[in-house]
Structure 1
Amino acid sequence: MRTITRLTVLLAFPFFFSCSKDGEDAGTIITTDFNDSLGGWTADFADYPAANEATYELQSGHEQLPAPLNQSQRGFRLSGNNHSDDLFMFIKSKISGLEANKTYKAFIEVQFASNAPSGTAGGAPGESVFLKAGFTTIEPVKELEEATGYYRMNIDKSNQGNSGADLKVIGNIANGKTAAEYTLLELGGESNVFTVQSNEAGEVWVTVGTDSGFEGATTLYYRMIGVRLVPQ
């Protein structure tokens, strides 16, 4: 099993991937514990009108987890108020040290804290906010769409509950409770299979984000992310 040392490898955490089956290449396993640092991940936002960052209350940072979670720990906090009915809040990281121009089968697992209650009607704060993830050869960035004045992604994530060519829906942020209480959730794993080709420098980009159909505020804390890349 090969690891990339710039990210913290913490295979003791139960939601991270076990090693491969007998005779199968375990590939590259990378885990990031956001309690320690942001580990090279950065945040950004898309699907909102330019120069409206304050109106949309867009915020990100390395912050203490909220009660009732363990407040001695930290996470990567993203927050925004979805006035556009389609706000995309995402984090991304570059993975290097791979074989150049090589196809990889990829997996991701995400642990995060959400206070969005389950089972509410209409544009629900939980079931209408979709967690997406994926891998790309190019860096995912927002670009200004001049015709509309909105920032859009340069990769195909589709919108809200639909998967795109680059990012797939791996679940939603409903916390499984009727109360708006922060709860640690885990989504992804080996049931979600991605395919990506590294670039000439042996790099790929990984993206995790929420695509919102809820017209209101959403605040999440990403706690840990695990990635596995298996050469094909």
Structure 2
Amino acid sequence: MDMWRVLGPFLIVLSVFSGCSDAEMPGISVFSVHSDLNLGQDGWDADFTGYPASAEDSIAYELKFDYTTLPDNLGGKGLMLSGKNIDGHLFMFIKNKVTGLAPNTEYSLIFEVRAASNATTDEDTDGSPGSDVFLKAGASSTEPQKIIANGNCELNLDKGLTASSAGANMIILGNIAANPATSYNYIQRSNSTYNAPFIARSDSNGELWLIIGTDSAYTGKTTIYIRQVDVIFTVPK
């Protein structure tokens, strides 16, 4: 991962949260993580939760992950996540570890995720493929992993009890509705839009795991391509 680069235009986002520039707040250090997934997978891995643990049931969910070419009208490459949300609980996510942070330190994180979606806000018999699927982001000193609980594959972190709610380890960046939704188009989602930085604490080794995913209440099929991830870290010196 192309980590710890000097901030350029993204520094503007910091002023949205703080109400003043870093020159007026000399005790604040600002760093960023940048993943341009057109250039490679950059250490990101993927998994799925919110479905039955049996092999027969999981096949029915049509779960797919790939580093692949984006739809023809967009070009380039990205991370593709796809699944059929049969019972309304499917969570599809990517994860990556950030190293080199200060140990045991609280960081304020601003996420910006660029993805490709063809989801519309229109309703069908399964709900809305755009409005009922939420893009979430978060970080934890614990690696995000799939665990088996009560016969289901579940996430070991708190992403929120429902698709439309935040949890201790993840916040909502918005839904995945695209405009227009007749073909795949880029969407950009960030917690800077509603002034809600996310707080996470690094472990004793100065590490944090990033997690980006879609939490779905839509009971049809969702396919999304993640093209770029940027994260701002700020911490008082």
The TM-score bracket by the shorter chain reads 0.7 to 0.9
Shift of 1:176: 2.5
Counterpart selection for 1:58 from 60, 63, 66 = 63
1:77 corresponds to which residue? 80
Correspondence list, 1:1-150, <5 A: 6-7=1-2, 16=10, 18=12, 21-23=21-23, 24=25, 25-50=28-53, 51=55, 52-69=57-74, 71=75, 73-120=76-123, 123-145=127-149, 147=150, 149-150=151-152
1:219-230 residue pairs with structure 2 within 5 A?
A: 219-230=223-234
- Whole-Å Cα distance in 2 between the matches of residues 10 and 102 of structure 1? 19
Mark the runs of 5 or more structure 2 residues left unpaired by the alignment. Answer: 15-20
* Rounded Cα–Cα distance in structure 2 between residues aligned with 1:12 and 1:182: 30
Provide the residue aligned with 1:192 in structure 2. 196
- Give 3-state SS (helix, strand or coil) of 2:58's partner: coil
Q: Which moved more, 1:58-67 or 1:22-31?
A: 22-31
The share of aligned pairs that are identical, in percent, is: 37
Once the two structures are overlaid, the 10-residue window that deviates more, 164-173 or 22-31, is: 22-31
How far apart are the structure 2 equivalents of 1:35 and 1:17?
Answer: 23
CA contact (8 A) 1:11 1:31 kept: no
Letter in 2 for 1:64: T
Name stretches of at least 5 consecutive residues in structure 1 with no aligned partner: 1-5
TM score, norm. by length of structure 2? 0.86
User: Which residue identity lines up with residue 169 of structure 2 in the other structure?
Assistant: D
Mark the CA change 1:119 to 1:154 in structure 2 (over 3 Å): closer, same or farther. Answer: same
C-alpha contact (below 8 Å) 2:37/2:77 kept by paired residues: yes
Aligned length: 221
Q: Is the 8 A contact 1:113 1:185 kept in 2?
A: yes
Provide the rounded CA distance (Å) in 2 between the counterparts of 1:9 and 1:223: 19
Once the 2 structures are TM-superposed, how far is the Cα of residue 8 of structure 1 from its aligned partner?
6.6
Identify the residue that residue 3 of structure 1 maps to in structure 2.
Answer: none
Letter in 1 for 2:33: I
Alpha carbons 2:3, 2:32 under 8 Å: kept: no
> 2:231 and 2:111 mapped to 1: Cα distance?
4
The whole-number CA distance in structure 2 between the counterparts of 1:107 and 1:65 is 26
Aligned to 2:220: 216
